[in-house]
């Protein structure tokens, strides 16, 4: 093991989780126990909802750190470290832009208490699919009237139109939100300057460690800042070329348990 590793950050979809949304639990728990011994934090860094992320680690929820909603919600072993919500006027303006393209843009509004879909604006099938990523997901009559504080927008567009809409939203929403994408029709809108790397930086500062003592694993465009921030960034073998270019190394794919394989080597 390299004794300087004090923090390990992993993306979930396409990185830590296999395609069938499982992982080798006993193998992970052995690694986690050792990381506790050497005082190395395990951080789950994802664009997904905090309530969904902690559900993947039953019995360990309050032992882990979470950088959820692409950095807008940061938890350290059960304690809220940071929360960044969007101004109401920003939320309203973004909703208006999305509604102008309602035939191709389907929206999930992600708040502190839960996530929301607008009744009549998206299909039941879409709603049920999103429940895989948002364990607290509700129907509302109007996205502008959720009564919640909003952390992030999770937008779905046609897969083949991802690049078009990514560029479109960057132009239309400049200064209000920052679009980020993991590809395949998924685009998140986050507060500018609020991303996975900013969340890791807060956890590192809180623990008195440097970015050089951090290791990260990712496979998507929203992992790039995190991979660059850490002393060593691993792109998964299943990641696109632009993500591999941002990383220091490439490890086996998510379906080959690449994160666990690599951690076993690092903590040998």
pLDDT bracket for residue 208 (50, 70, 90): very high
DSSP string across 167-236: HHHHHHTTTT-EEEEEETTEEEEE-TT-SHHHHHHHHHHHHT--GGGEEEEE-SGGGHHHHHHSSEEEEE
Question: For residue 21, is it left (φ>0), alpha (ψ between -120 and 50) or beta?
Answer: left
- pLDDT, the chain, mean: 94
Per-residue pLDDT tens over the stretch 150-162? 999 999 999 999 9
Is residue 255 annotated as part of the catalytic site, yes or no?
A: no
pLDDT at 40: 97
Segment 122-132 shows an average pLDDT of 93
Q: Is the pLDDT of residue 79 over 50?
A: yes
Tell me whether strands 186-190 and 150-156 are parallel, antiparallel or unpaired. Answer: antiparallel
67 beta partners: 45, 74
pLDDT at 1: 41
More confident residue, 215 or 3: 215
Question: For the chain, what percent of residues have pLDDT higher than 90?
Answer: 90
pLDDT at 232: 97
Q: Is the pLDDT of residue 167 over 60?
A: yes
- Choose the weakest-confidence range: 137-146, 181-190, 221-230: 181-190
- Catalytic residue selected from 4, 11, 219, 257: 11
pLDDT at 153: 95
Confidence (pTM): 0.87
pLDDT at 3: 52
More confident residue, 236 or 4: 236
Segment 206-235 shows an average pLDDT of 96
Report whether 144 contacts 166 (CB < 8 A). no
More confident residue, 221 or 100: 100
Q: Which residue has tokens 């952390």?
A: 151
Per-residue pLDDT tens over the stretch 85-101? 999 999 999 999 999 99
Segment 179-189 shows an average pLDDT of 85
Q: Is the pLDDT of residue 193 over 70?
A: yes
pLDDT at 65: 98
Q: Torsion angle, CA of 45/46/52/56, rounded to 10 degrees?
A: -50
């Amino acid at each position: 093991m390299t004794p300087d590793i004090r923090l390990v950050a992993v993306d979930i979809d396409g990185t830590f989780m296999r395609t069938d949304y499982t992982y080798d639990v006993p193998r992970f728990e052995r690694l986690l126990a050792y990381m506790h011994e050497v005082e190395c934090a395990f951080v789950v860094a994802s664009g997904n909802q905090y309530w969904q992320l902690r559900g993947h680690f039953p019995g360990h929820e309050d032992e882990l750190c979470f950088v959820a909603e692409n950095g807008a919600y940061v938890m350290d072993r059960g304690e809220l470290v940071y929360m960044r919500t969007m101004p109401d006027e920003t939320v309203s303006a973004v909703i208006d832009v999305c509604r102008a393209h309602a035939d191709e843009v389907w929206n999930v509004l992600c708040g502190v208490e839960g996530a929301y879909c607008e009744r009549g604006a998206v299909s039941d099938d879409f709603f049920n699919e999103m429940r895989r990523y948002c364990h607290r997901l509700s129907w509302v009559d109007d996205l502008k009237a959720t009564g919640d504080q909003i952390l992030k927008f999770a937008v779905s567009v046609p897969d083949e139109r991802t690049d078009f809409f990514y560029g479109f939203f960057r132009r239309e929403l400049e200064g209000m939100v920052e679009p980020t994408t993991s590809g395949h029709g998924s685009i998140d809108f986050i507060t500018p300057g609020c991303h996975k790397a900013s969340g890791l930086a807060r956890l590192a500062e809180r623990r008195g460690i440097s970015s050089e003592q951090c290791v990260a694993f990712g496979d998507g465009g929203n992992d790039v800042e995190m991979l660059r921030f850490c002393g060593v960034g691993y792109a998964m073998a299943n990641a696109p070329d632009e993500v591999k270019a941002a990383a220091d190394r490439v490890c086996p794919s998510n379906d080959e348990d690449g994160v666990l394989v690599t951690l076993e080597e690092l903590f040998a």
